[in-house]
Structure 1
Amino acid sequence: MSLPIMMGSAAQNIIVLSDNVFLYHYDHLQFAAVGVIGAFYLVLASIGYGFSRGGQIFIARKYGEKDMKSLGMYFQALVLFEAVLAVLIFGFIHLFGYDFLKLFISSTEILDYCYDYLYYRSYGVFFSYLGVALIALYTGIAQPKIILFDTLVLTISNIILNYVFVFGKWGAPAMGIGGSALASTLSEVIAFIVFIAYIVYKRSYKTYHLLDFTSINLRRIYECFNISFPIVVQSALGLGAYFLFFTFIENNSAKDLEISNLIRNIYLILSIPAWGYSAGINTMVSNFIGTKKGRLSFH
């Protein structure tokens, strides 16, 4: 069960890794820059992902209880919360993003490259945050195959679009780091559309009452927030430390930053199994609790 979840949970890691590979072969300074801004964007992505974990836990519990109506309500609460959060993050990037990065990055050239990447990636926040809500749904109901398929769509489209927009192939302009960010955003849009098409095709929106919206349920939103907040803080602090570490290296030299980014890509690969395995364990425990088999979670 954990393998598909493993891939879906680490989707942003896969995107950043793909961006790094193409930029390494395009321009070394831009490759160095994506090390800094890639770490920063992972912090932003971890906020949306962390909050989705709370929704996933409640969805899994209600699925175990066979309470599909409540399951749909928790999903709606999660989608609404993620959408509002995406708007706030998008606004922060466009209003304060450049000045915020300027506090940490000393090189004007690297700063411009970083904001170029962040500008295009900002539009992907909506699809990323709503996408993790869909992943939380299908993780919670223990149907991870679509997560694996959608992640493969995301990865393949990202690789193709990176090739097109970074190097300027098939009539597209060579955009470098901006093209890499644009490719990542477009691949998230494609993956999101595929996910929605699957839900419509399988009529899951009826089975799980996903569209039975009556009113905004603040209690369920608070419950998701309350259980997710420690996860968000843990992820943000951990990945935030990486961002600060990379800014310290950038202040030393661009060459050191380039080397450090190369090493970090190895960490990204190694972190994928850990993220997925933990998400799988969360789902199994919540399902056991929902089916009144909580003791099994200790065996």
Structure 2
Amino acid sequence: MNYTYKQIWLINFPIMVSLFMEQLINFTDSIFLGHVSQIELGASALATMYYIAIYILGFGFSLGVQVLIARRNGEQRYEEVGKVFYQGLFFLSAFAVLMFILSKLFSPMILRMAISSDSVYQATMRYMEWRDYSYLFAFPLLAIRSFFIGTTNTKILTANSIVMVVCNILLNYVLIFGNAGFPQLGISGAAIGSSLAELIGLLFLVYYMWKHVNKKRYGLRATFDLNLSLHLLNISIWTMIRSFFCIAPWFLFFVVIEHLGECELAAANIVRSYSMLFFVIVNSFATTAISLVSNLIGAKQIASVMPLCRRIITLTYGIGLPLILLSFIFSENILELFTNNGAVITTALYPFYVMLSTFVISVPAYTCCNTVIGTGNTKVVFAFQMINMVIYLGYLYALSRYLHTPLAVYWTSEQLYALILLGLSLVYLKRNKWQNIKV
């Protein structure tokens, strides 16, 4: 089980495409709304980060499910894969209902306290009114996705993501602008389109799993196992909380930017939207690292873990650096895709350059961090996150004390975050205490 560059790429490519297609949902929302108004473009940034801050809790739990499925797959205990999958599915489905209810009850109050502009607040709430429904579809979909990644059968994720994005683009086109006889709903139409795309994606994967997955091999029987559920929760709770604290500072980042003005908020949303392209590249390889590291440890091939980590970093640079160079060369053309507002484009340009440079640090940082997750020691990764978050928020607070801090300087907080994460992860991996962790 010595994964070559080619094997890593073949496993990673469907994951990368699926993540890219998922991010295209938010990406296309921004492009469409950028041609509606500056306020709705900015509001979509706040609403999207708020939604993702809740969504990432489910994503964090799915990482724990993925680790355990991959470990059983590596140990060739295939019949236990289905048990782990169903405990994850039950938990994430129940958690989706809980988050939907809590968001309906408390989101208006939380967002009102965070957003100073009345027009931005009203637009944000129109988005969240419909985007809340995505939790009911996206969380169960995460459980299914963990099954395919954990067993390294990732090809179907590409087709699923393409279906979701095509549906989202079509729905955005008719609902945001009121085409084909539909009412013109603006930012509400973007949220409805995204929620329906998540539903279609879930139905697509459920149908595929029912028809094409070997149920006997993987023990796919819907049974509840309390002890296994508690064991899974013990592993996943740390990735849940850690994932939340990865994204929550991003929401606070946009709250800080919103206080700078509507133009700065719109510019920050454009930079964030485009940065998702590189986030997908880094995160897909890092997610692949979790599964492959856990499979290697399950197969008792500890010595192959760090060489695998280095290969993943090399591949990530090979894919990402040419795109970074092209993005730098055509930066103004890219920004014009999102808006024709000259002030917003000018404000976004230097933060755009800083965002591009952050990729160089993020590649080893996130790969090494997810290698630690793959070892099963999710508690130590949570500790890394808490240390990092305190420093990150302290840095943002220090910047906010100066009224005329340029938007580009705020973006250096991402570089600081990646450097700290890289340092902590490397120190842990070099100590070799992770080699005998049982999950």
Give TM-score, length-normalised by structure 2. 0.65
Post-superposition CA distance 1:9-29 (Å, at most 9, x none): 455433211211111112221
* 2:197 aligned with 1:191: no
Are 1:101 and 1:111, in contact at CA under 8 Å, matched by a contact in 2?
A: yes
Residue 19 of structure 1 corresponds to 29
Residue 156 of structure 1 corresponds to 166
Distance 1:182 1:174 in 2: 12
Residues 252 and 84 of structure 1, relative CA distance in 2, 3 Å threshold: same
Residues 226 and 9 of structure 1, relative CA distance in 2, 3 Å threshold: farther
Report the aligned-residue RMSD.
1.6
Distance 1:267 1:181 in 2: 21
- The code of the aligned residue for 1:230 comes to W
Q: Which residue among 204, 214, 222 is the counterpart of 1:213?
A: 222
Q: How many residues align?
A: 297
Post-superposition CA distance 1:198-231 (Å, at most 9, x none): 1122144444222x233x3232222222222333
Residue range with higher mean Cα deviation, 223-232 or 144-153? 223-232
User: Which structure 2 residues correspond to residues 78-227 of structure 1 after superposition, within 5 A?
Assistant: 78-210=88-220, 212-214=221-223, 216-227=224-235
Cα deviation for residue 103 of structure 1 reads 1.1
Residue 408 of structure 2 corresponds to none
| 3-state SS in 2 of match to 1:208 | coil
Distance 2:213 2:195 in 1: 27
Residue 290 of structure 1 corresponds to 298
Post-superposition CA distance 1:223-273 (Å, at most 9, x none): 222222333333222221111111122223212211111121222121111
Residue 51 of structure 1 corresponds to 61
Query: Structure 2 stretches of 5 or more lacking a match?
Result: 1-10, 308-439
* 2:50 aligned with 1:37: no
Distance 2:150 2:138 in 1: 18
Residue 267 of structure 1 corresponds to 275
- The code of the aligned residue for 2:251 comes to F
* 2:68 aligned with 1:77: no
Distance 1:97 1:205 in 2: 40
- The code of the aligned residue for 1:242 comes to W
- The code of the aligned residue for 1:105 comes to I
Residue 13 of structure 2 corresponds to 3
Post-superposition CA distance 1:169-204 (Å, at most 9, x none): 111111111100000011111111111111122144
Are 1:87 and 1:126, in contact at CA under 8 Å, matched by a contact in 2?
A: yes
Distance 2:180 2:119 in 1: 28
Distance 1:293 1:119 in 2: 49
Are 1:6 and 1:279, in contact at CA under 8 Å, matched by a contact in 2?
A: no
Distance 1:252 1:289 in 2: 48
- The code of the aligned residue for 1:161 comes to L
Distance 1:66 1:81 in 2: 25
Are 2:27 and 2:274, in contact at CA under 8 Å, matched by a contact in 1?
A: no
Are 1:50 and 1:232, in contact at CA under 8 Å, matched by a contact in 2?
A: yes
Residue range with higher mean Cα deviation, 198-207 or 237-246? 198-207
Give TM-score, length-normalised by structure 1. 0.94
Task: Give the fraction of aligned pairs with identical amino acids, expressed as a percent.
Answer: 29
Are 1:135 and 1:147, in contact at CA under 8 Å, matched by a contact in 2?
A: yes
Q: Which residue among 49, 59, 65 is the counterpart of 2:75?
A: 65
Distance 2:300 2:216 in 1: 26
